[in-house]
Amino acid sequence: MSDFVLVHGAWHGAWCWQRLLEPLWAGGHRVFTVSLTGVGERAHQLSPDIRLATHIQDVQAVIEAEELQDVILVGHSYAGMVITGVADRLADKLAALIYLDAVIPLSGEAWSSRHAPETQAQRRTAIAQHGFIPAAPPSVLGLTGADAAWVERRQTPHPGGVYDDPLHFDAERWAGISRYFIDCTAPALPTIAIARERAREQPGWQVYEIATGHDAMVSAPDELLAILMTIAFKT
């Protein structure tokens, strides 16, 4: 049995993991899903004061309050920033880090650091005007039909204060944790391109691929579940 902590990406909430919960429970695992401050069912807390450190603390608090050990920590998309920060603080409590089509930062980088200049400009303009980043259309995430409708009606704006916050962490401590990257390849989201390269170039990574869009927990839950179960068996 493993303890999974699942952390969603931008504009999402704990709701996005619904299709994985019962199968993971049936496999004998415990699962803790985190909604980050300001999104999901916590959208009423949206504020310019929310920073990357706020979201790191959200996840850290769950691990500490539940007294978890040997955690398999999964971060989707933006949450690659978050789980890297958690790993720096709680390395002794983690058995593995899983980056689900997620950002892989270097120490000192922000979520924005490796985005194209056009993406940076668009998001910074939105943040300056509204204080948040509006949700991307589900089609950008590779979703269509009922899946797209399901995600679109649940997405919420993402706190703008996290976008340019740099993350400083001990790269050696982080590299001492087993690390996995799940690459969602069809269609491949452009903002994750640098992470795909790093997972294949940096030592210590194990890479899996799923031929689906960015929201694999929605569009390919069975394939994603199989990978999570495989990693849990190895851990």
Question: Model's pTM, two decimal places?
Answer: 0.98
Closest to 96 in 3D by CA, of 11, 224, 206: 206
DSSP-assigned states of every residue in 116-171 = -HHHHHHHHHHHHHHSEEPPPPGGGGT--HHHHHHHHTT--PEEGGGTT-B----H
Beta bridge partners of 32: 5
For the stretch 215-229, pLDDT in tens is 999 999 999 999 999
Predicted local distance difference test score (pLDDT) of residue 50: 98
Predicted local distance difference test score (pLDDT) of residue 1: 85
Predicted local distance difference test score (pLDDT) of residue 215: 98
The pLDDT-based confidence of 235 (bands split at 50, 70, 90) is: confident
3-234 CATH choice from 3.40.1410.10, 3.40.50.720, 3.40.640.10, 3.40.50.1820: 3.40.50.1820
pLDDT greater than 90 at residue 174: yes
* Overall average pLDDT of the 194-214 stretch: 98
- The pLDDT > 70 percentage for the chain reads 100
Predicted local distance difference test score (pLDDT) of residue 88: 98
Positions marked catalytic:
77
- Assess contact for 228 and 222: CB atoms under 8 A: no
The residues spanned by each domain of the chain are 3-234
Average pLDDT over all residues of the chain: 97
pLDDT greater than 90 at residue 102: yes
d(CA 227, CA 108): 30
For the stretch 116-156, pLDDT in tens is 999 999 999 999 999 999 999 999 999 999 999 999 999 99
For the stretch 27-65, pLDDT in tens is 999 999 999 999 999 999 999 999 999 999 999 999 999
pLDDT greater than 90 at residue 105: yes
